[in-house]
Amino acid sequence: MSGAYWQPEIETMAPAALRELQAARLRETIARAMQSPFYGECYGRLGLAPESIRTVDDVRRLPFTTKEDLRGHYPYGFLTVPPQETVRLHCSSGTTGNPTVIFHDRHDLDSWANLVARSMYCAGVRDSDVFQNICGYGLFTGGLGFQYGAEKLGALTIPAGAGNSRRQIKLMQDFGTSAIHAIPSYLPRLFDEFQALGLHPAEDTKLRIILTGAEPHSEETRQRLQEMFRCKVFNSFGLSEMNGPGVAFECDCRNGLHLWEDCFILEIVDPETLEPMPDGERGELVLTTLDRRAMPILRYRTRDLTSILPGPCPCGRTHRRIDRITGRSDDMFIVKGCNVFPIQVEKILMKIPEIGSDWLIVLDTVGDNDELLLKVEISPAHFTGDMEALERVRRRIIHEVRDEVLVSPHVQLLEPGALPKSEGKAQRVQDLRKKS
């Protein structure tokens, strides 16, 4: 299939055939996993064997695997082969304790690149595109993951790396970049740089597609980015434990993300009871790898919250779609007795035109009480010194956030660029509260 990375025999497979393929691959995966110290011991103790799987629903008989399991058996406890037989490792983000490390052999890397190529094609990227990958290369999977996927697709691929917006823009202009991948918190900064140079991406580059993911972001953020760049923005979901990018991706309908069910088993469970949730209801995403050899992971509790979108997608792909991830169960914080997810605040801010690229929630103890302080950057275009206008914005934020999360925030408006920037994923919550 030259020039195309459309795999209709897999992507439009009849659901019953897809379930059969999954069951067969699940049996193979269990057999393989049992060669690792972790699953060998665990499944051996429970008397689980590949033959106990008749249909894919039998996956529910397996115990869950958690991040703590991965950390507790660091570094080699999940390997089914000697480390010498693997060819690459990646680590998941996270700041404390052992990282979660994932090993790949050649087959795994090839399978992953295939999924990323398929995902990019699904979003409309073609081998005629020039694709610039604007994110960290290294342990973060977005760099090499998209690099190898885009090469497999056949696009001219620019491994631009993170940051240095001016250089990014020069590369985009010099080589006719038509598709980029970057994390959502960086894209407004890139746009600000275009503006600072007196340029517009829609007029001064060939950009037509933006792929973005790795961080929770709302539909409002997508709208804002689309208006800024005047091109289509697609949501890309993945996690290092399941390779990285290429787990689930939006097609041109942009009504949820097709999760590649030939390579993963998709479950949504209630995070408290761990029982399956009906389609359409939000719960924790649980995933099982079906095409990974060096380090299969079964029933992994991702902590990511989403739902299965019912019904077929007009694009014809039969792999089920998940909804935008609204955050991780461990992102939630409790302030004044109310449960809050950062994305609830983000949604509000991204609808306010005067708000710029960056914001931060600071939780602190003042006297005996918790306080929620919102630090918000104003957009360069609205940073004009009109104090009355800014006061109206400040009041609007207080009102709308209070209505949404039931806690009245303090709001500090800041000049553009005032908040600290990182090259990787944005930190949206700083908790300075005294622990009692």
- Residues forming the site for ligand AMP (CB under 6 A): 92-93, 141, 213-216, 235-240, 302, 304, 325, 328
For residues 381 and 343, the answer to whether their CB atoms sit within 8 Å is no
Closer CB to ligand AMP, residue 169 or residue 294? 294
Among 222, 299, 317, 324, binds Zn ion (CB under 5 A): 317
Task: Tell me which of ligand AMP, Zn ion, none is bound by residue 29, counting a contact when its beta carbon lies within the kind-specific cut-off of 5 to 8 angstroms.
Answer: none
Task: Tell me which of Zn ion, ligand AMP, none is bound by residue 32, counting a contact when its beta carbon lies within the kind-specific cut-off of 5 to 8 angstroms.
Answer: none
Closer CB to ligand AMP, residue 194 or residue 359? 359
Burial class of residue 366 (count of CB atoms within 10 Å of its CB; 0-12, 13-18, 19+): exposed
How many Å apart are CA 67 and CA 78, to the nearest integer?
12
For residues 397 and 374, the answer to whether their CB atoms sit within 8 Å is yes
For residues 233 and 101, the answer to whether their CB atoms sit within 8 Å is no
Task: Tell me which of Zn ion, ligand AMP, none is bound by residue 317, counting a contact when its beta carbon lies within the kind-specific cut-off of 5 to 8 angstroms.
Answer: Zn ion
Burial class of residue 434 (count of CB atoms within 10 Å of its CB; 0-12, 13-18, 19+): exposed
Closest CB 239 distance from ligand AMP, rounded Å = 4
257 lies in the binding site for Zn ion (CB under 5 A): no
Helix axis angle, 165-175 relative to 187-196, nearest 10°? 80
Tell me if residue 200 falls in helix, strand or coil: coil
Closest CB 229 distance from ligand AMP, rounded Å = 18
Closer CB to Zn ion, residue 317 or residue 428? 317
Closer CB to ligand AMP, residue 205 or residue 307? 307
Locate 109 and state its tokens. 């890397």
CB-based burial, 39-50: b 16+ in 10 Å, e otherwise = beebbeeeebeb
Closer CB to ligand AMP, residue 25 or residue 301? 301
Locate 120 and state its tokens. 């990019």
Task: For residue 374, report the phi and psi dihedrals to the nearest 5 degrees.
Answer: -110, 120
Among 91, 315, 373, 407, binds Zn ion (CB under 5 A): 315
308 lies in the binding site for Zn ion (CB under 5 A): no
Helix %, strand %, coil % of the chain (to 5)? 35, 25, 40
Closest CB 312 distance from Zn ion, rounded Å = 9
313 lies in the binding site for Zn ion (CB under 5 A): yes
Q: Of the ranges 17-25, 226-234, 252-260, 270-278, which one interacts with Zn ion (CB under 5 A)?
A: 252-260
Q: Of the ranges 27-35, 151-159, 310-318, 397-405, which one interacts with Zn ion (CB under 5 A)?
A: 310-318
Task: Tell me which of Zn ion, ligand AMP, none is bound by residue 215, counting a contact when its beta carbon lies within the kind-specific cut-off of 5 to 8 angstroms.
Answer: ligand AMP
Q: Of the ranges 60-68, 220-228, 246-254, 411-419, which one interacts with Zn ion (CB under 5 A)?
A: 246-254
Q: Of the ranges 251-259, 284-292, 338-346, 408-416, which one interacts with Zn ion (CB under 5 A)?
A: 251-259
Task: Tell me which of ligand AMP, Zn ion, none is bound by residue 313, counting a contact when its beta carbon lies within the kind-specific cut-off of 5 to 8 angstroms.
Answer: Zn ion
Task: Tell me which of Zn ion, ligand AMP, none is bound by residue 315, counting a contact when its beta carbon lies within the kind-specific cut-off of 5 to 8 angstroms.
Answer: Zn ion
Closer CB to ligand AMP, residue 192 or residue 304? 304
Residues 6+ apart with CB under 8 A from 359: 345, 346, 349, 374, 375, 376, 377, 419, 428
Closer CB to ligand AMP, residue 138 or residue 417? 138
Locate 285 and state its tokens. 């995403």
Task: Tell me which of ligand AMP, Zn ion, none is bound by residue 214, counting a contact when its beta carbon lies within the kind-specific cut-off of 5 to 8 angstroms.
Answer: ligand AMP
Task: Tell me which of ligand AMP, Zn ion, none is bound by residue 93, counting a contact when its beta carbon lies within the kind-specific cut-off of 5 to 8 angstroms.
Answer: ligand AMP
CA atoms within 13 A on the CB side of 410: 10
The CA–CA distances, whole Å, from 403 to 396, 397, 398, 408 equal 11, 10, 9, 8
274 lies in the binding site for Zn ion (CB under 5 A): no
Task: Tell me which of Zn ion, ligand AMP, none is bound by residue 325, counting a contact when its beta carbon lies within the kind-specific cut-off of 5 to 8 angstroms.
Answer: ligand AMP
How many residues interact with Zn ion (rule CB under 5 A)?
5
For residues 209 and 124, the answer to whether their CB atoms sit within 8 Å is yes
251 lies in the binding site for Zn ion (CB under 5 A): yes
Residues 6+ apart with CB under 8 A from 366: none
DSSP alpha helix (H) spans, 176-242 = 187-196, 201-204, 219-229
Query: Where on the chain is the footprint of Zn ion (CB under 5 A)?
Result: 251, 253, 313, 315, 317
